[in-house]
A = this chain, B = another copy of it.
Amino acid sequence: MAKIAVLGYGTVGSGVVEVLERNADSIKNRAGEPVEVKYVLDLRDFPGDPIQEKITHDFNDILNDPEVDVVVEVMGGTGAAYTFTKSALEAGKSVCTSNKALVAAHGAELMALAREKNINYMFEASVGGGIPVIRPINESLTADKILQITGIMNGTTNYILTKMRREGTHYEETLKEAQALGYAERDPSADVDGWDACRKIAILTSLAQGGTVDFNDIQTEGISDITYVDFKYANKLGVTIKLLATSKVVNDKVYAYTAPFMLESDHPLYNVNGVLNGIYVNGNMVGDTMFFGPGAGKLPTASAVCGDIVEAVKNKDHNVIVVWEDKKVELGDNKDLAFKYFVRVKDEEGEAKKVRDAFGLDVQPIRVQDVEGEFAFVTEEMAESDFVIKSKLVDLIKSIRFDDTAMVE
């Protein structure tokens, strides 16, 4: 019998308790022994709820109980969650988490500690919700050099963009609707400004490259500037707009960014809609692979946490090697990268000539119904540094990059 403690009885924490109960028989089979929740740490009480008898308000109850093999940290944040995780690992208890902020901030340190203690710090749920992606990168694609990871890794923004595209709605109203449905937080900044996706690509890139990518180094743009007008153009062009988080190796340098992109209809992530996530991974031997599924939600996320619990129980005195050193991965300057750009400019006298002069091509102006005073065009692929210079020569309203990821058939 493996005994576990759950830190935080919020959405994911209660999901973990539910999954362990509902699938108790098959989990026992997979883990090799029954898995039982002994404690739930929460500041609150839950009178009348059967969980109440397991509630403790004191982390020391858990820390000092030698029966507890695995601690599940689903509190979030980098404060108490960090202290508790460290103490648990130091006490020889494996820790499983969905806390991407903590993994992105202290992953290398916590994994080194787990290794020293011959136990495990596992975080499958921190990226891609229920989609297995951490373990495939860490334990399957290990003979490959990972050259690119590109994903739709944030369900909130994908829900908003999908709805804006399908229904022609405005950003603000769509966000409000997402908040009303519980798909977006009251303070939506972490999602819509791209910080959540940024942390996730930092985690995946650290795993893929074996060093630590500081998420603060990653160029991060959100979706709050995307408007229904952009989608009018996108629809006319037969493309969609998605918030992508990407890292890629170009000339042995690692580049990373999070930003909205235009995707053509044959893009492997084009049809990843609603709260679904999709993560494309390219290895130098395997080529193109993709992982798809529910990027958030109580039970999918709890499924990933509980999969980690099963692994932690199976590997009680065995550290599952994760190559993620404390050594910093220096990122390249994204200005070196090249993209195709969608560009909106003011429709003023001589503007077409300005565009021609700047971009040196016979631009086809794109116009959409009910949008006056502007037109748009699409550039050839060009270096970002070059685009920055040339875009100053026209009356720029806005630009959106294209992503050209493609899967070889």
B271 and A299 form a contact (CB under 8 A):
no
Q: A260 near B: Cβ within 8 Å? A: no
Q: A275 near B: Cβ within 8 Å? A: yes
Q: A366 near B: Cβ within 8 Å? A: no
* In the bound complex, CA of A311 to CA of B22 (Å): 31
Q: A393 near B: Cβ within 8 Å? A: no
Chain B nearest CB from A350 CB (Å) reads 44
Q: A288 near B: Cβ within 8 Å? A: yes
Q: A162 near B: Cβ within 8 Å? A: yes
Q: A335 near B: Cβ within 8 Å? A: no
Q: A132 near B: Cβ within 8 Å? A: yes
Q: A145 near B: Cβ within 8 Å? A: yes
- Contact residues of A between 190 and 205, Cβ < 8 Å to B: none
A23 and B143 form a contact (CB under 8 A):
yes
With contact pairs A140-B135, A314-B321 given, residues A285 and B271 touching in the complex (Cβ less than 8 Å): no
A288 and B283 form a contact (CB under 8 A):
no
- Additional 15 contacts, C-beta under 8 A, given A130-B287, A276-B409, A294-B408: A19-B143, A22-B284, A22-B285, A132-B140, A139-B311, A144-B303, A285-B302, A286-B293, A286-B300, A287-B297, A289-B291, A289-B294, A290-B290, A290-B292, A292-B407
A→B interface (CB under 8 Å): 19-20, 22-23, 26-27, 29-32, 124, 130-132, 135-136, 139-145, 162, 210, 268, 271, 273-276, 283-294, 297, 299-300, 302-307, 309-311, 314, 318, 321, 323, 407-409
